[in-house]
Amino acid sequence: MASSNSARVSRWSRGLVVAGVLLFVAWQVAVLAGLSRSATVVLGVHGFVFHVVFGKAYALVPSYFARELAVPSAPLVHLPLGTLGTVALFAGTADLAPGVVGPVGATLWLASVAVFVAALGWTIRDNPTGSETGTGASNAHRERIDRYANAAVPVVIAYLVLGATASALEAWAFETSAVGDFVPFVAGPATTHLLAAGTATLLVFAIGFRLLPRLLVVSPRRWLVILVLAAGAVGPALLAFDFHGGRLFATGGAIQALALVGFALGYADLYHRSERRRVGGWTILLAAGFAVLVAVLGLSFALGHADGAAFDAHYRLAVGGFLGLTIVGVSYHFYPPAIAARRFVGPRLAAVAVVALAAGLALEAGGLLAALEAVVVAGRLLAVVGAVGYATVLGTIFLERAG
Q: End-to-end alpha-carbon separation of the chain, Å? A: 23
Burial of 180 (0-12, 13-18, 19+ CB in 10 A): middle
| Rama region for 218: left / alpha / beta (φ>0; ψ in -120 to 50; rest) | beta
- Give the count of beta carbons closer than 10 Å to the beta carbon of residue 112: 26
Task: Decide if pLDDT at 290 tops 60.
Answer: yes
Contacts of 85 (CB under 8 A, 6+ apart): 46, 105, 106, 107, 108, 109, 110, 111, 112
Residue 183 pLDDT > 90: no
User: Residue 17 CA to chain centroid, in angstroms?
Assistant: 12
pLDDT at 15: 92
**For all residues of the chain together, what is the average pLDDT?**
89
pLDDT digits 0-9 by tens, 199-250: 999 999 999 999 999 889 898 999 999 999 999 999 999 988 877 778 888 8
Taking alpha carbons only, the member of 261, 333, 253 closest to residue 293 is 261
Segment 278-284 shows an average pLDDT of 93
**Confidence bin at 403 (pLDDT 50/70/90):** very low
Query: Is residue 127 predicted with pLDDT exceeding 80?
Result: yes
Distances (CA, A) of 67 to 59, 62, 131, 148: 11, 5, 12, 17
- Comparing 40-49, 87-96, 190-199, which segment has the lowest mean pLDDT? 190-199
Contact 78, 117 (CB under 8 A): no
pLDDT category of residue 309 using cuts at 50, 70 and 90: confident
Cα–Cα distances (Å) from 260 to 144, 193, 217, 263, 297, in that order, read: 22, 14, 22, 5, 12
What is d(CA 46, CA 85) in angstroms, rounded to the nearest whole number? 9
pLDDT at 189 over 90: no
Confidence at 3, pLDDT banded by 50, 70, 90: low
Cβ-proximal residues to 278 (8 Å cutoff; 6+ apart), any chain: 332, 333, 336, 347
- Pair 148, 209: CB distance under 8 Å: yes
Per-residue pLDDT, averaged over 91-98, amounts to 92
Exposure b/e, 6-35, CB count within 10 A at least 16 = b: eebbeebbbbbbbbbbbbbbbbbbbbbeeb
207 versus 137: the higher-pLDDT residue is 207
Rama region for 217: left / alpha / beta (φ>0; ψ in -120 to 50; rest): left
CA distance 219 to 274: 9
Q: How far apart are CA 257 and CA 129, in angstroms?
A: 26
Secondary structure of 125-155 in the HEC alphabet?
CCCCCCCCCCCCHHHHHHHHHHHHHHHCHHH
* Structure confidence at residue 341 as a pLDDT band (50, 70, 90): confident
Tell me the mean pLDDT in the region 324-343: 90
Tell me the C-alpha distance between 70 and 76, whole Å: 14
Q: What is the pLDDT of residue 401?
A: 76
Greater model confidence, 276 or 35: 35
What's residue 343's pLDDT?
A: 79
pLDDT at res. 4: 67
Kindly report which listed range (189-198, 316-325, 362-371) carries the lowest average pLDDT score.
189-198
Give the model's confidence band at 178: pLDDT under 50 very low, under 70 low, under 90 confident, else very high: very low
pLDDT at 153: 93
Reported confidence tier of residue 11, pLDDT bands at 50, 70, 90: confident
Can you give the three-state secondary structure of 1-63, one letter per residue?
A: CHHHHHHHHHHHHHHHHHHHHHHHHHHHHHHHCCCCHHHHHHHHHHHHHHHHHHHHHHHHHHH
Pair 109, 92: CB distance under 8 Å = no
As a whole number, mean pLDDT of residues 165-186 equals 62
pLDDT at residue 176 above 60?
no
The pLDDT value given to residue 82: 96
- Residue 355: pLDDT band (50, 70, 90) is very high
Residues 207, 132: Cα–Cα separation, whole Å: 15
- Taking Cα atoms as reference points, which of 136, 169, 164, 119 lies closest to residue 12? 119
Lowest mean pLDDT: which of 110-124, 219-233, 306-320?
A: 306-320
